Amino acid sequence: MDLHDQLLKKEATLSLVGLGYVGLPIALAFAKHIKVIGFDINPERVALMQQGIDPSNELDPRAFEGCDITFTSNPEDLRAAQFHIVAVPTPINPTNQPDLGPLVAASTTVGRILKPGDYVVYESTVYPGCTEEDCVPVLERESGLKMGQDFKVGYSPERINPGDKVNTVETIVKVVSGCDAESLDVIARTYELVVKAGTHRASSIKVAEASKIIENTQRDVNIALINELSIIFNRVGISTYEVLEAAGTKWNFLPFKPGLVGGHCIGIDPYYLTWKANKLGYHARVINSGRYVNDSMGLYVGKQTVKRMLEHGKNPLESRVLVMGLTFKEDVSDIRNTKVVDVVRELESFNVTVDVVDPHAVPEEVQHEYGLELTPEPAAGAYDAVIVAVNHAPYRSMNEADFRALMRDDKGVLVDLKGLFANQIHSMTYWSL
């Protein structure tokens, strides 16, 4: 009887290290079938989860029902588990270099409680080679054990899309890998307990790591192309969305749209790949160019907004702008690496007074992360421009009259980053990417 069978019979336990947007859904999915220990270093988050509350506001309380799971912030509790999944963030530092601090810390924690026969599977997005070159040495150092001989390691990249209620843990094919044939089989069958869509068995850990990082890199490069086209079409004086609509009538035209590229995946993962490429002596020109374009879009939006206010005789020193939405995407509370902040900072560089509203963002988190104070409610008749930065559900139901009511006068400017209100605005100045 291998570890998979022991887990299924609840003679062994699975641990999930890191209970954020990725880790918690995975932990709860497993907990409906096997015994799980959910570990997070934040006691306050753990306390909420013990009450059946998702601190990230992604999961309904019903998701906790029928789950055989123990939440803890005590690393010693992990000793009771034999199959460890690590799902901690892999951010970048201010110079766009990989920050492996959380991953190394989690590996240190797991290494200290690691036992002969245990499995460790990483889900964090990393560059090819990271698991074996950076994580395994930590596990071996802290445990005094040898990978392959005493314990097994695998990699299975997360594919969770925050806010997506259709493509979930259970419905997305899971790429899995292991350090040898035995571990690959055990890891694949373990994930198949919860992933109805099945698994794809990669030939190596490096292949699995690379498969994940290019998913987001591909999207990043494609969005960068559309963003650059948007800048060109703005100078031409035509609508990007009208151009895309026309081009989209061809069967093989890819349906990408312009926009701000932030969040914890698409705006970060390509930097892990380009860093690795640099280490290998190759400068990734296309990927880096895409990153430059996308990282510049917030500044571009800010400048374009000010430009249109100036065209209407607005003095930036006396102007007030409303930014609607701060999270990195619609209908989520996640503010990590949101590029809306770049828009706000650029407006402030022109001495524009900026109000920011968001129905999902947590004010305390916004203040802590960016030093910004959210405005509780927009002020009627107060703004010289309104920027719909994130298409949250309450904003999608607004119309021209709603926006006019927010403007100081009839010279107000509506900036619609996602083109949500294209062809719906007739008596106001309207601009979109």
**Chain segment 361-395, per-residue pLDDT in tens:** 999 999 999 999 999 999 999 999 999 999 999 99
134 and 259 in one domain?
no
Please indicate, yes or no, whether residues 409 and 348 belong to a single structural domain of this protein. Answer: yes
For residue 77, what pLDDT is reported?
Answer: 97
Token output for 202: 């990669």
Domain boundary among 203, 233, 260: 203
Residue 148 in domain: yes
Angstrom distance (rounded) from CA 25 to CA 31 = 10
Residue 343 lies in a domain: yes
324 and 225, same structural domain? yes
How many C-beta atoms lie closer than 10 Å to residue 60's C-beta?
11
Over the chain, what is the mean pLDDT? 94
Q: In the predicted model, is pLDDT for residue 305 greater than 90? A: yes
What local confidence, expressed as pLDDT, does residue 205 receive? 98
Q: For 368-406, b where at least 16 C-beta lie within 10 A, e where not — what string? A: eebebebeeebeeeebbbbbbbbbbeebeebeeeebbeb
265 and 349 share a domain? yes
Enter the tokens of residue 103: 């991953």
Q: Give the CATH number for residue 153.
A: 3.40.50.720
Q: What is the pLDDT of residue 167?
A: 66
**Whether residue 130 lies in the annotated active site:** no
Task: Clarify whether residues 155 and 231 are in a common domain.
Answer: no
The alpha carbon torsion through 229, 235, 240, 242 (nearest 10 deg) reads -140
| Residue the block writes with tokens 């009538």 | 249
Predicted confidence band at 56 (pLDDT cuts at 50, 70, 90)?
confident
**Is 17 inside a domain boundary?**
yes
The answer to the question of residue 58 being in a domain is yes
Average pLDDT over residues 22-26: 91
Single residue among 151, 177, 203 that ends a domain in this structure: 203
- 277 pLDDT higher than 80: yes
Decide if 97 is inside a domain: yes
Residue where a domain terminates, one of 203, 228, 259: 203
The pLDDT confidence band at residue 427, using thresholds 50, 70 and 90, is confident
Could you tell me the residue range of the domain that residue 254 belongs to? 219-431
The rounded distance, in Å, linking the Cα atoms of 142 and 78 is: 14
Pair (159, 299) in one structural domain: no
Helices (H), 237-324: 240-247, 269-279, 285-311
pLDDT in tens, 228-250: 999 999 999 999 999 999 999 99
Q: Verify that 333 and 413 share a domain, yes or no.
A: yes
| Same domain, residue pair 239 and 147 | no
CA atoms within 13 A on the CB side of 404: 10
Same domain (yes/no): 178, 327: no
Please tell me whether residues 128 and 30 are part of one structural domain: yes
- Model pLDDT, residue 404: 95
243 backbone dihedrals φ, ψ, rounded to 5°: -65, -45
Mutual orientation of helices 136-143 and 101-113 as an angle, nearest 10°? Answer: 40
Q: Decide: 325 and 395 in contact? Cβ < 8 Å.
A: yes
Give how many domains the chain has, as a whole number.
Answer: 2
DSSP 3-state of 196: coil
Answer yes or no: is 209 within a domain. no
Dihedral over Cα of 259, 261, 262, 266: its sign:
positive
**Does 212 reside within a domain?**
no
Helix axes 205-236, 269-279, angle to 10 degrees: 110
Task: Give residue 163's pLDDT.
Answer: 63
What the block records as the tokens of 204 is 């190596």
Instruction: Evaluate if residue 106 carries a pLDDT over 90.
Output: yes
Residue 408 pLDDT greater than 80, yes or no: yes
Measured distance CA(414)–CA(339) in Å, rounded: 19
229 in the same domain as 198: no
**CA atoms of 428 and 411, how far apart (whole Å):** 7
Q: Is residue 210 in a domain?
A: no
CA-CA-CA-CA torsion sign (91, 97, 103, 108): negative
CB distance 424 to 239 below 8 Å:
no
**264 Rama sector, left if φ>0, alpha if ψ -120 to 50, beta otherwise:** alpha
Annotated catalytic residue, options 130, 135, 179, 265 = 265
- How many whole angstroms separate alpha carbon 62 and alpha carbon 58? 12
The answer on 194 and 89 residing in a single domain is yes
Inter-CA distances, 218 with 142, 147, 221, Å: 37, 33, 5
pLDDT tens sequence across 327-370: 999 998 889 899 999 999 999 999 999 999 999 999 999 999 99
Query: If pLDDT is split at 50, 70 and 90, which confidence band does 265 have?
Result: confident
